[in-house]
Structure 1
Amino acid sequence: MSYASFSIFALVCYIYLFLALLASQKNRLIFSFLILLVDMILWTGGSFAMRMCFGPSTSFWFDVSLIGLIFMPYVFYNFISEFIGKKDEKIRRFWLYISIILNVLNYTTHVFLEAPEMIMLHNDVVFIYHFTWHIYIVIGICIICALQIVYNVYCCVKNGDRMLYQFTPILAGISILLLGHGLIMLDIFKGIPLDILSGIINALLLFYALYKKHLFNLKLLVSKRNCYAISAIITILLFSNYLVPLRNFIVQHFSYYLDPMILVFIIFMFVFVCIQTLLKRFIDQIFIKEEKQQADYLKSFSDHVRNTLSVYEIAQDICEIITETLGVHRVYVCMQEGNHQDYHIIYGNASLERQNFTFQVDNPIVEELKEKKDCLLYDDFKRSLNYRSMWENEKQLLEHLQIECIVPLIEDELIGMVLLTKKLKNQYTYEDMKFLSSVASISTIALKNSRLYEMVYQEAISDEMTGLLNRKYFYKQFEELFTQKGKECTLTLILVSLDDVRLYNQLYGTKEGDKAIMKAAQIMQKTMPDTAIISRLSGKEFAILLPECSLQTARDLAENVRYQLANANNDQDDFALRSVTGSFGIASIPLLASNPKQLEEYANQALYQAKRRGKNQVVIYNEETKSSMQTQKDSKDKENIYSEYAEMIYALTATIDTKDHYTFTHSKNVAYYACELAYAIGLKEDVVEIIREAALLHDIGKIGIREDILNKQGKLTSEEYEIMKGHVENSIGIIRYLPSLDYVIPVVISHHERWDGRGYPRGISKEDIPIGGRILCVADSFDAMTSKRSYKESFTLEYAIKELKNQAGKQFDPQLAEVFVRLLESGHIKLQVEQREKNHSTD
């Protein structure tokens, strides 16, 4: 019996696999398998040439075959390392050098294995190998390499990088290969090419392992190139059996007309072309039609999503193409939304079964998709270590959704994923994975473009700070809504103005002021219904449009927002100063107002009344509001505003005078000293006027201090001193309810701050203290020193000047103290204490 056919069959199998993989997408793993196939081709090709006794000699082809055999440990180690993703270049090079050394030694000395002996058995050539103990050196090296391979696989499985089932075909193939080479050393199997047979089985098992990893398409086995190979093999096999009878038939009947060999060649080519044509048509019917259909679907899908700028519509198209093409039962599209890093289900083709489910950014599935950047079969993922780190409720939900495949939408970053349930027929194949990858690639680009468009569009219609609608788009929405609903619809408008924002900015800086505005916007968004249209009209002005909302409901909502605003900072130590309240004006269509312009005008009038009534309240526009507004002037200049409240200021200070005689005259004295100092350093008239008003009001908060503390004869206790310090906050609390005079608050609140930062209530220092506050500090302290108090006599002018100089750079601004001393010494500022004593003597 001739065993050359075994070598032919093995060689054809290796070449066939090699040609198939050449057409696949290359990566390091595919390359390593191609190298393994080349080594197998050397081995089996040399064996085939040797058994066929091709030239130059059987010894030459034996050496070629043995080169492939000795290199086998290295190529197997290289392939397995790539399969498990092990980075061990040094060890790979070690096995490469060992293989080269063994080959050189055997080629020059044949120390390990000599060429086989050829004998004739039943008219067939049989090759008998004679083994010596040296062969066990090669076998030992192969066993060591095999053990290292098994150890690497064990470590990989133990660490959870791969599961054992993925290695079953590989381990089986290696075991069969080793068994085949071991058996030929036994006398009973001498001459039988079990090594060749085991090599064929091993190669097929490795090929199967790669296919299970979805690294190539089985259709590559029936590619155009392989169709020619199959046709040639079938034709050769046919002619190998019928060549002699055919030649005899031609010689007998046609030798007079044409050379028999030419006619045999013509018949051979004709049969080859016929077989190749029939085979190609058969394959086209099976595969190409389906591929063309998928290609048409992809082209239609690509054209449609390319012209779509809606994320929702693209997600809908993704579900449709996957459902129609692959027959998937349900499809869910998950995306990152806004500034959120987590992935939410934004669309599913089974609306009744859609789940409110979120993949957090650190979810093991997300991490797996980012690492692999390819389709993930859920059954494969369940066998990985990452699956074990998932929460049980996440596993249960995925099981409930019956998810079988997850497709990443990824380019530079993972922007989303597509969850697929089971197919109506069959399982997911490599062809399905390839199709899904194409869909994902097209979808990712389209989704990134649509998200970019939506981001730009959102920026165009939104306020940058708060994220609410901007003024322009709000009025556009307002008009559109009024046009759609008609004049008979109910539209309620709430205008909101935050109180004392300018003061807040002056006290804590614009950064803190911006935070307060953003917090107010968040409160409105959380409180108002989903149908509300909320906008930031200007710095501290907001508008809320409520369709089909009654005035009472709008009032309740506004009161809720007002309450939350007033208590937003109640966890702060300086809550009394940090409070940012809101004033609300409400009007409605069709009650009184009949169009958007009139509605806004009436809401503005209501808001103005809320401000006039003391802020931090909600006012609904009605006829009384309308009548009140018609009697008021549209605007007043600064001088008139002060004159309107001058009587109130003096009334308040006079009230204090009944509790503390010192305060009333003290405020006027401080106003005089402060104005003179302000003029001396070159401040403008309007700034000096602010400082004068602040000086008159700076101690107005003492109206809330007990008389026993105000008029105490001795030194205040620490507890009483803390109460006395509260007069600053009391002053602010009173002034903020004097409309149009809240601009004096930064000066008033700062008159007890010190240059060295040891003052109160905020403990600020140097230039952080407003200039008006620094001026009041000097004027207030000077008048306190030169005035008679319940607990002390007045100090002399010389003593006061000395203290001003000593405290310059500590309590006082050094430059202001220097100027004030110079004004005193030159007589430009007159001491006011005599006037006070005169006033009290007349009392």
Structure 2
Amino acid sequence: MINSAYAMISGIAVIGYLLIFMVFVNAEKNKLVQSFLAIVLSMVLWTGGSLLMRLQAFPSHIFWYHISLGGMFLMMLGYYHFVENYYEEKRTLKRLVYTLTAGIAFVLNIPSGIFFPWPNIVQEGSRTVMVYEDITIFAAVYLIIGTVIVGNILWIILKNSKSRGKRKRPTKPLAFGILAIFLGNAALLLPLFRSFPIDIVAGLVNVFFLVYVLVQRELFRFKMIAYKNVGFTFSFIAGFTLFYALHPLFSAFARQRLFLSQESQVFFHIGVFTVIAGGMYFLWKTLVSAVFIKAQEYQAEVLKEFNAKVSKSLRAEKVYGETMESLEKSVGATEIYIFVFDPEEDRFISVMSDQPLKKASFTFRKDHPLLKWMKEQESVVLMKSFEHSIHYRSLWEEEKRMLDSLGSTHGVAIKASDHISGIILLSFSKEKNHSRGEDFGTVLSIATIASAAIENAQRYEKAHKEASTDQLTETLNRRYFYPLGQELFEKHKNQAISFLIVNLDDFKLFNQLYGVKKGDEALREVASILKGTVGNYGEVARYGGKEFALILPDFDAYKAKEMAVSLRDQIEQIGQKNAQDFQKKITVSIGICVYPYGASRFEELIENAEHAVYEVKRNGKNAIKVFNTYVDGKEPQTIDVQSIYDEYKSTIYALTAAIDAKDHYTFQHSENVAAYAVSLARKIRLNDDIVENVRQAALLHDIGKISIPEHILNKKDGLTDSEYEVMKKHVEASIDIIRHLPSLDYVVPAVLGHHERFDGKGYPRRISGEDIPITARILSLADAYDAITSNRCYRPKSNPEKALGIIEEAAGTQFDPKLAPLFVEMMRKKEWYYEDDVEEDTAVQNLFQ
């Protein structure tokens, strides 16, 4: 019989090699993996040939001897190829010489065994032993060839272990494995090991070192065990081994219990083997499902969820956050840093990290050696490998220290087309270290998904920025600022919010003196001062040609005034530093309104800030006005509202007189509306500025009727639809006229909105609710009441009580539901609020009679 030790050791080795081959055939294909698979195949030939030779299998033991010997030759060549790829050496000529030499020696040895003769079969009692006899001097040729190849392999390993210019790899395990193979085969020449398969044992030792090296290199991933080809191989081998061990019991059971014939027993054994192999496959599949499949399914679910979230997101910040969260959830990553290229900085900047204190402490220049090295890689990279690369040597010492301080052990490039758009640095938690290679595919998938999502988000944000930014000043434009301001207002409603309007004084004159180019430069400087001072406290927008708006959450009146004073002082210094370029000082008029003290809504906040600016303009410019308070760095001043009214009274009466010549109703109607509207404004305790605004808006609200044809204005019958459309245009006509009046454009909101309805069915803008300025809502009530109680060319007047009843019924639809009851109450109680003007007080009394 053949020595059982030979069969057992060789069988175990063959099974081990086949399983390793089946596992690594599922790995990512690269030159290193391919050369490793070649080594494993050569070891299968060597060990399998040795086993079949000892079993004296068909066709002969000599045939299997040559197969085994060829496997040994191929194994040495395979190792040389593997080491070259491992250290990225390129020695094509040497490889060719070694291959030809080994091949020729192998072919010459086949006919006569001149270099290494095959063993003789010797019967020692009941044992059959293979003994290597008559070893000739020509065996030295084999040893020399092997020694040269192995020596060259060891020289490559030694050279690279000392060199700093190449990647440093684990060297000792690889060297020990190769030496074990070489010494194990050389030991066959010694009489002590002629009856023991020392070469096979050396091969098993080598397997341990080889797998250790691949695990360190992170080529081995546990999920490769989960592939079906591995399961089939395991099931067949394990099933066959168990069936072979229990075969005598199965045979006895078939003969003695089932009484099967010889032919029937063959089918019985086939069935038993099928059941055993199937059971082994079921066991393997259950274990794989418990250990790997569930983890893979969880990672796949995380990837699916991540892809769904970021594919819909157009905000880069959200994509960064989702990327980090997915890395943490799927692979247990820590020390995560996401860097993205910033065209303005011309560098890769940190945009997201789970280490907030380190987030902004490090950036990468676009020619950073790490980026060059990552571009060459196809997967997740090991930072230790980078530290031993030639690229690492080109880093500045400070860059090395900063990179080391991040603490990340791995990295992956975020690739967009043919360039790197970002990088992710990360570490794996200690719990994951045993299988971190498993997670590389997941990390790479996350990076790929993130790349597309980041590119889309950045493209959108770039377009959004261009659409929302004023090109000259690079501040927000008015179109974008308004909804953003509303959003901030709603978000910070529980705290003070300041709204500032900064208007440049006499800027038209500045452009005339120094030219438009110089004016543009001044606007850019003003914008720079505003953005620099406001910083992250709020938002800055170009609100008009020479006007900027600021919204400052969590700023009360005192803080807003302080900032306004600082802005005014800084802006005055523009063009004053260089005596040679000395130019006219740029002064500003700043209006401030603070929520909740000066306004209850965002629209009102803007309206009152604008009104504050108008008041500054009318009182000498170059000052700051907090709504309802006048501040210019001196003592507060009292505004003479009547004198302001008197200044424009002649202009207003000239316009109303012009329309009176065309339509007598309109002139008296405007006077009446002013009286009613001012009384209501005072009743609800609006400040004097707003009351004056209401008065002047009331006098001018129908001035546009001067453009309406007389046959429509004085028509005795009802208007047709087309005539009504013409009549409705008097609102736009009023606005066109007012815009040409000096410093009267502040009444535009009231005039423009006095025909709007609370339910949104009015004209011309069809706005609703509190979006209609309060001054316009007041005018709407006064206008309707006077129209109903006045004689018109197409109908007689109604009595006051009927008019008030109509207003009560229309509260909430046509009129403000809060103001309408107050107006009705005022009229029924015959209240009036013209305390500032006795003459007009009497006029109001007459109206109320």
Shift of 1:456: 1.9
Counterpart of 1:427 (choices 427, 433, 442) is 433
Q: Deviations over 1:690-729 (max 9, x none)?
A: xxxxxxxxxxxxxxxxxxxxxxxxxxxxxxxxxxxxxxxx
Tell me the distance in 2 between the aligned counterparts of 1:269 and 1:207: 32
1:563 matched to 2:568 = no
Aligned to 1:360: 364
Of residues 196-205 and 20-29 in structure 1, the stretch that sits farther from structure 2 once superposed is 196-205
Query: What are the residue-to-residue correspondences of 1:80-91 with 2, within 5 Å?
Result: 80-91=83-94
Counterpart of 2:154 (choices 136, 150, 156) is 150
Shift of 1:544: 5.0
Counterpart of 1:133 (choices 129, 132, 137) is 137
1:291 matched to 2:296 = yes
Shift of 1:520: 5.9
RMSD of Structure 2 on Structure 1 (CA): 4.4
Query: What are the residue-to-residue correspondences of 1:688-767 with 2, within 5 Å?
Result: none
Q: Deviations over 1:500-529 (max 9, x none)?
A: 6688779xxx7x998886566445433443
Q: Secondary structure at the match of 1:184?
A: helix
Shift of 1:461: 0.6
Aligned to 1:459: 466
Rate the CA distance shift 1:587–1:214 in 2: closer, same or farther, 3 A. same
Residue type matched to 1:72 in 2?
Answer: M
Query: What are the residue-to-residue correspondences of 1:737-816 with 2, within 5 Å?
Result: none
Counterpart of 1:250 (choices 243, 254, 261) is 254
Q: Secondary structure at the match of 2:475?
A: coil
Tell me the distance in 2 between the aligned counterparts of 1:355 and 1:453: 24
Rate the CA distance shift 1:517–1:114 in 2: closer, same or farther, 3 A. farther
Tell me the distance in 1 between the aligned counterparts of 2:116 and 2:530: 88
1:495 matched to 2:506 = no
Residue type matched to 1:98 in 2?
Answer: T
Tell me the distance in 2 between the aligned counterparts of 1:389 and 1:181: 45
1:277 matched to 2:282 = yes
Tell me the distance in 2 between the aligned counterparts of 1:564 and 1:136: 93
Aligned to 2:327: 322
Tell whether the 8 Å contact from 1:492 to 1:551 is kept in structure 2 after alignment: no
Shift of 1:209: 1.7
Q: Deviations over 1:14-69 (max 9, x none)?
A: 22211112222212221121222222223233333322223333333333333332
Shift of 1:546: 5.3
Aligned to 1:665: none
1:468 matched to 2:475 = yes
Q: Secondary structure at the match of 1:416?
A: strand
Residue type matched to 2:422 in 1?
Answer: G
1:267 matched to 2:272 = yes
1:100 matched to 2:64 = no
Query: What are the residue-to-residue correspondences of 1:519-668 with 2, within 5 Å?
Result: 521-536=527-542, 544=550, 548=555, 549-563=559-573, 565-567=575-577, 570=578, 576=580, 582-589=586-593, 596=606, 599-600=609-610, 603=613
Shift of 1:624: 10
Counterpart of 2:170 (choices 153, 166, 175) is 166
Aligned to 2:56: 53
Tell whether the 8 Å contact from 2:358 to 2:406 is kept in structure 1 after alignment: no
Q: How high is the TM-score relative to the length of structure 2?
A: 0.63
Aligned to 2:233: 229
Rate the CA distance shift 1:422–1:630 in 2: closer, same or farther, 3 A. farther
Rate the CA distance shift 1:63–1:629 in 2: closer, same or farther, 3 A. farther
Q: Secondary structure at the match of 2:476?
A: coil
Identity over aligned residues, as a percent? 25
Shift of 1:190: 1.9
Rate the CA distance shift 1:234–1:559 in 2: closer, same or farther, 3 A. same
Q: Secondary structure at the match of 1:145?
A: helix
Tell whether the 8 Å contact from 1:609 to 1:619 is kept in structure 2 after alignment: no
Residue type matched to 1:557 in 2?
Answer: L
Tell me the distance in 2 between the aligned counterparts of 1:608 and 1:341: 48
Counterpart of 1:444 (choices 445, 451, 454) is 451
Tell me the distance in 2 between the aligned counterparts of 1:196 and 1:279: 28
Q: How high is the TM-score relative to the length of structure 1?
A: 0.63
Aligned to 1:732: none
Rate the CA distance shift 1:222–1:329 in 2: closer, same or farther, 3 A. closer
Residue type matched to 2:567 in 1?
Answer: L
Tell me the distance in 2 between the aligned counterparts of 1:116 and 1:578: 107
Aligned to 1:78: 81
Q: Secondary structure at the match of 1:436?
A: helix
Aligned to 2:420: 414
Question: Structure 1: any 5+ residue segments left out of the alignment?
Answer: 635-843
Rate the CA distance shift 1:129–1:240 in 2: closer, same or farther, 3 A. farther
Tell whether the 8 Å contact from 1:498 to 1:541 is kept in structure 2 after alignment: no
Tell whether the 8 Å contact from 1:116 to 1:128 is kept in structure 2 after alignment: yes
Tell whether the 8 Å contact from 1:341 to 1:360 is kept in structure 2 after alignment: no
Tell me the distance in 2 between the aligned counterparts of 1:226 and 1:44: 20
Tell me the distance in 2 between the aligned counterparts of 1:134 and 1:513: 98
Residue type matched to 1:120 in 2?
Answer: Q
Tell whether the 8 Å contact from 2:574 to 2:586 is kept in structure 1 after alignment: no
Residue type matched to 1:320 in 2?
Answer: E
Shift of 1:124: 1.9
Tell me the distance in 2 between the aligned counterparts of 1:150 and 1:578: 79
Q: Deviations over 1:467-521 (max 9, x none)?
A: 3222422344456667877899542211345986688779xxx7x9988865664
Tell me the distance in 2 between the aligned counterparts of 1:312 and 1:612: 41
Q: Matched residue pairs, number? A: 619
1:208 matched to 2:212 = yes
1:195 matched to 2:205 = no
Tell me the distance in 1 between the aligned counterparts of 2:313 and 2:58: 68
Q: Secondary structure at the match of 1:530?
A: helix
Tell whether the 8 Å contact from 1:551 to 1:587 is kept in structure 2 after alignment: no
Residue type matched to 1:5 in 2?
Answer: M
Q: Secondary structure at the match of 2:535?
A: coil
Question: Structure 2: any 5+ residue segments left out of the alignment?
Answer: 624-630, 652-849
Tell whether the 8 Å contact from 1:408 to 1:418 is kept in structure 2 after alignment: yes
Tell me the distance in 2 between the aligned counterparts of 1:373 and 1:501: 59
Tell me the distance in 2 between the aligned counterparts of 1:369 and 1:181: 42
Rate the CA distance shift 1:399–1:250 in 2: closer, same or farther, 3 A. same
Rate the CA distance shift 1:274–1:513 in 2: closer, same or farther, 3 A. same
Tell me the distance in 1 between the aligned counterparts of 2:646 and 2:141: 109
Of residues 414-423 and 198-207 in structure 1, the stretch that sits farther from structure 2 once superposed is 414-423
Q: Secondary structure at the match of 2:537?
A: coil
Rate the CA distance shift 1:43–1:422 in 2: closer, same or farther, 3 A. closer
Shift of 1:174: 0.8
Shift of 1:115: 2.8
